[in-house]
Structure 1
Amino acid sequence: MPRRTDTRERVLRAAATLFQTQGYHATGLNQVLAEGGAPKGSLYFHFPGGKEQLASEALALSGGEMCDLIKAALDAADEPEAAVGAVLQALADALEASDFTAGCPVATVALDAAGDSEAIRTACERVYASWTDTISDHLVGHGVAADRSAALAVVLVASIEGALLLAKTRRDVAPLHAVGAHLRRSIAEAVR
């Protein structure tokens, strides 16, 4: 018999995937439960705050996984500009593998529901902050001034978000490669 935490994890992962591909409003709770293989009563048992709590936790999960990918790429590369290329290539590969349905794990929900729900807006803000903080800290470690690192990290995340949106819309990863080339040059100049 599956443990309660297994059910919670399955529901959370199903929700993260569905919110990423469909957005907040288009994702129904019955669909989440069906995809997660969970009985109907389990949703409010595990997520008493309902859909908002589920979305907030799903964003934290998928956003944390993306932050881990960013950190791993930064740590694995000799130079920060090479890490940016690795992150963009990983995103391009994931987008192609999903047949262009899964872009950023946060953007679809942010565009769809952040204006309607303070809890969701805050969850999105926390995820984006974790990404920019991770990038900024890495750049500071490579000698870039803290204020410049923070600004550059925002430019990187915003550029990558835009490139993902264009790539998803065009069903072509070329925007990710174009933005990647530009960002690599910008980072190389910043760390000199």
Structure 2
Amino acid sequence: MPPRTDSRQRFLDAAADLFHTKGYHATGLNQLVSAGGAPKGSLYFHFPGGKEQLAAEALTQSSARLSDTLRAILADGDTDAVFAALAQNLEDSDFERGCPLATVALDAAAESELIRQACVAGFDSWRVAIHDFLLDKGVDAERAANLSVVALSMLEGGLLLAKTQRDIAPLRTVADHLRTTLERELP
């Protein structure tokens, strides 16, 4: 693996942003090179697998950042804060940035095993963060495993609806329903 450099990180950051807002197929190499602020040869030096490798690594980076954010918020025990942070992100981006994986997952995961695997790992890292939170709250392991899938699915659905409707109301509805569900489940 090539050494980490500022230009490598700039490519990852630019790619994460472009793929998040435009998707995989709507983002061209020239856009990536321009946004990365380095020559095309530099992109291939750092990412010999080209756009596909860059996308997978950018998705991995975005996933890790959101996983860290989820864990930090959930460490305080405030599930409503998760929804508030997601809603704020949507509003701050004028509803361009929902889930950092969903656009690419829907756009390219069926044709690229590398991208599909990055999406699987990313979604699973978020599910595990929720699972661990539930375990810490005393939910038994099997129930926590099931609830973490349901909670992540609700988050993703709420984000998608909020983004397409350009309204955070679906996220509020999901937050209310999940809060009620958790109140019944937590010992």
Same fold per superposition (TM over 0.5):
yes
* Residue of structure 1 aligned with 2:139, choices 144, 158, 161: 144
- Provide the aligned C-alpha RMSD in A: 1.2
Residue aligning to 2:32: 32
1:186 and 2:181 equivalent? yes
Distance apart, 1:134 and its partner CA: 1.2
The residue type paired with residue 117 of structure 2 is T
Residue aligning to 1:132: 127
The residue type paired with residue 103 of structure 1 is G
Distance apart, 1:4 and its partner CA: 6.5
Residue aligning to 2:8: 8
1:109 and 2:104 equivalent? yes
The residue matched to 2:144 in structure 1 has which SS? Answer: helix
Residue aligning to 2:116: 121
Distance apart, 1:51 and its partner CA: 1.1
The residue type paired with residue 43 of structure 1 is L
Q: Percent identity?
A: 57
Residue aligning to 2:172: 177
The residue matched to 2:40 in structure 1 has which SS? Answer: coil
Cα deviations by residue, 1:100-124 (Å, 9 ceiling, x for unpaired) = 0111000000000111111111110
Distance in 2 separating the partners of 1:187 and 1:36: 43
The residue matched to 2:132 in structure 1 has which SS? Answer: helix
Distance in 2 separating the partners of 1:11 and 1:124: 19
Cα deviations by residue, 1:104-156 (Å, 9 ceiling, x for unpaired) = 00000000011111111111000011111111112111110111101111111
Distance in 1 separating the partners of 2:139 and 2:68: 22
Distance in 2 separating the partners of 1:88 and 1:4: 33
Residue aligning to 1:66: 66
Distance in 1 separating the partners of 2:79 and 2:54: 31
Distance apart, 1:161 and its partner CA: 0.6
TM-score (ref. length: structure 1): 0.94
The residue matched to 1:54 in structure 2 has which SS? Answer: helix
Cα deviations by residue, 1:18-42 (Å, 9 ceiling, x for unpaired) = 0010111111111011112111111
Distance in 2 separating the partners of 1:20 and 1:26: 11
Distance in 2 separating the partners of 1:58 and 1:4: 14
Change (3 A) 1:156 1:4: closer
Distance in 2 separating the partners of 1:146 and 1:38: 47
Residue aligning to 1:80: none
Cα deviations by residue, 1:80-103 (Å, 9 ceiling, x for unpaired) = xxx221011000001000000111
Residue aligning to 1:165: 160
The residue matched to 1:102 in structure 2 has which SS? Answer: coil
Q: Give the 4+ runs in structure 1 shifted more than 2 A.
A: none
Task: Provide structure 2 residue ranges, at least 5 long, that are not aligned to the other structure.
Answer: none
